[in-house]
Amino acid sequence: MPNVVHKPKEAEQATDDAAAVPKKQKDNPAAKRYHTILRDFMAYTHQAGFYNEGHAFSSTELALITPEQIIRYFKFKLYGDGDVDVSGQPLSGSHHTLDYYKKAISSFVPQRDKSWDTVTQQGNPTRARSVNDFVRQIRALEGVEGSSKKRKMKVNNETPSKQSSSSTPTASSTAKKARVRVIDQPAAAIANNNPNAIMSDLFLQMHQQNTSVIDFLGTLGTSIDRFKSAMQVNNQKIMANIHRLNSSLQQVNASVPVPPAPMIRFPPSAAAAAVPPAAMPVVAAATKTPGVTRRLPTSVQPKPKLPSASASLPAQKEYWFYDHPDGKRRSVPPSWTFPSGTLLELYILWHIGDPANKIYPMKTFSAFDVSFCGKRSRTSLSEARCLVAALDKEVEKAGGSIGPKISEAQLVELFRVGVEGLDIPLETPTGRPRNIDSLKWRTLVERGRKSMD
């Protein structure tokens, strides 16, 4: 009697990429279809609209992916909302879809062979326990009916009105079959080149082809009706969110006071040694003053005193938008250029913006707002976001926090705290002491890219 080898059930197969993918396949480059998933995931996570085909994400961006971002993306793909409380069967997709998304994202993360460490926030985020638990939760919610494709097939089988027109016997179809049987006789006459028989056979073939087209159109019409219904439901949800946002904007515009002109206050240790000239721009004066203290070694660096969260700089009065030559409205005017100054300038523009020139904080920008600045504008915005996120992380480790109404002086103090946690050499490649306040943020990004390579 031959041995029978049973195929393992899908529910018993491991969802972990390390077990699901053979070792020889891990070193292969990511499949082309995975790039589409990664661009869609990063666009949703960064609220960047979309990334063009061929866009390459830096290792720094990929290293900042977290399990929470992946779960939020999964919710969006299954339920249409990344912040929804999961309950009930998914509206689109299944746990098989999530496994596919996991594999696609995992093939790009720098440390895809390492398990996720919740303490250091390093490793492969798709292998985190929270992500795998979410996939198991979706599998349990699907129940015995399985994926959404199986549920649709079940609904179609239970609804007689959605069956194909060719499957329901009618008087016309019966007569059609009768005509086919009558015409399908003169094979011998066709062999003798009988003109009437040849024409009859030609009409028969045309009749059969038309019948196939009619059946196809009936099935296509049912699919179009379903798609139309789904789009109508989505449009209703979108309009509800638009009305909600408009109401929130009206409340914010009516309650937020007019902001005063921004001003930097130096720490006591630096105020006596350097006072910025009155004619210079505030940020430029702060970064070009020679008396500002430089980052010292850990053994002699005094422990900074973190500012309190009771800030005095009010939020902006309104949301500023500007018309562009292409007919679009953006958060910056057409004359605006992407900042290329120092790291301190970028940090201030990111969290506070430029209220004097009616420019909102850069942390609210989307890729669309800077798309007119050049081919590399989207990448520059993403690199700036990653760099500021690293500084904010060091500030949080030191016990600081950046509130929505933080003043510029307090933000400068927190900036110095965050810089202390970054691995920045104290000397330039030529051996001169490095002035952190004059360090260009693009130089720091380029240095990080070279270290990754």
The pLDDT averaged over each successive group of 10 residues in the chain (453 residues) is 50 44 46 84 82 86 91 89 83 87 91 88 92 91 62 53 47 44 50 72 81 78 76 77 72 55 44 38 38 40 46 50 90 89 89 88 89 88 89 87 84 85 74 78 77 60
Helix H, strand E, coil C: the string for the chain is CCCCCCCCCHHHCCCCHHHHCCHHHHCCCCCHHHHHHHHHHHHHHHCCCCCCCCCCCCHHHHHCCCHHHHHHHHHHHHHCCCCCCCCCCCCCCCHHHHHHHHHHHHCCCCCCCCCCECCCCECCHHHCHHHHHHHHHHHHHHHHHCCHHHHHHHHHHHCHHHCCHHHCCCHHHHHHHHHHHHHCCCHHHHHCCCHHHHHHHHHHHHHHHHHHHHHHHHHHHHHHHHHHHHHHHHHHHHHHHHHHHHHHHHHHHHHCCCCCCCCCCCCHHHHCCCCCCCCCCHHHHHHHCCCCCCCCCCCCCCCCCCCCCCCCCCCCCCCCCEECCCCCEECCCCCCCCCCCEHHHHHHHHHCCEHHHCECCHHHCCCCCCHHHCCCHHHHHHHHHHHHHHHHHHHHHCCCCCCCCCCHHHHHHHHHHHHHHCCCCCECCCCCECCHHHCEHHHHHHHHHHHHC
Answer whether residue 398 is part of any domain.
yes
Say whether both 240 and 383 belong to one domain: no
CA-based angle 140:145:151, to the nearest 5?
120
Question: Could you say which of 157, 178, 213 is where a domain stops?
Answer: 157
CA atoms within a 13 Å half-sphere pointing along the CA-CB vector of 116: 22
Output the pLDDT for position 191.
56
Say whether both 286 and 244 belong to one domain: no
Q: What value does the CA radius of gyration of the chain take, rounded to a whole number of Å?
A: 32
Tokens standing for residue 293: 């203290």
Phi, psi angles (nearest 5°) of residue 185: -115, -40
Distances, alpha carbon 100 to alpha carbons 67, 93, 246, 373, in Å: 16, 11, 37, 35
Answer whether residue 184 is part of any domain.
no
Output the pLDDT for position 442.
84
Say whether both 276 and 147 belong to one domain: no
Q: Are 89 and 151 in contact (CB under 8 A)?
A: yes
* In the block, residue with structure tokens 């195929």: 7
Model pLDDT for residues 406-430, shown as the tens digit of each residue: 888 888 888 888 888 777 777 777 7
Output the pLDDT for position 210.
82
Say whether both 324 and 427 belong to one domain: yes
Say whether both 374 and 403 belong to one domain: yes
Question: Could you say which of 234, 255, 276 is where a domain stops?
Answer: 255
Written as one letter, the residue type at 157 is N
Q: Which of 92, 85, 91, 62 is nearest to 134 (CA)?
A: 85
Question: Could you say which of 111, 131, 157 is where a domain stops?
Answer: 157
Q: Which domain does 121 fall in, by range?
A: 10-157
Average pLDDT, the chain: 72
Beta bridge partners of 117: 122
Output the pLDDT for position 306.
52
Q: Are 426 and 293 in contact (CB under 8 A)?
A: no
**Residue 418 and residue 431: Cα distance in Å, rounded?**
24
Answer whether residue 395 is part of any domain.
yes
Answer whether residue 301 is part of any domain.
yes
Distances, alpha carbon 426 to alpha carbons 294, 303, 436, in Å: 9, 18, 9
Say whether both 219 and 354 belong to one domain: no
Answer whether residue 435 is part of any domain.
yes
Say whether both 329 and 384 belong to one domain: yes
Answer whether residue 180 is part of any domain.
no
- Exposed/middle/buried for residue 90 (C-beta within 10 Å: 0-12, 13-18, 19+): buried
The distance between the two most distant Cα atoms of the chain, rounded to a whole number of Å, is 115
Please report the sign of the dihedral spanned by the C-alpha atoms of residue 342, residue 414, residue 348, residue 422: positive
Answer whether residue 351 is part of any domain.
yes
Output the pLDDT for position 111.
87
Say whether both 78 and 199 belong to one domain: no
Q: Are 264 and 409 in contact (CB under 8 A)?
A: yes
Q: How many domains does the chain have?
A: 3
Written as one letter, the residue type at 358 is K
Output the pLDDT for position 147.
52
Question: What is the model's pTM?
Answer: 0.34
Say whether both 243 and 351 belong to one domain: no
- Exposed/middle/buried for residue 1 (C-beta within 10 Å: 0-12, 13-18, 19+): exposed
The length of the chain in residues reads 453
Say whether both 147 and 48 belong to one domain: yes
Say whether both 132 and 228 belong to one domain: no
Output the pLDDT for position 416.
85
Q: Are 311 and 403 in contact (CB under 8 A)?
A: yes
Output the pLDDT for position 26.
45
Answer whether residue 55 is part of any domain.
yes
Say whether both 143 and 15 belong to one domain: yes
- Exposed/middle/buried for residue 17 (C-beta within 10 Å: 0-12, 13-18, 19+): buried
Output the pLDDT for position 301.
45
Beta bridge partners of 427: 433
Output the pLDDT for position 150.
58
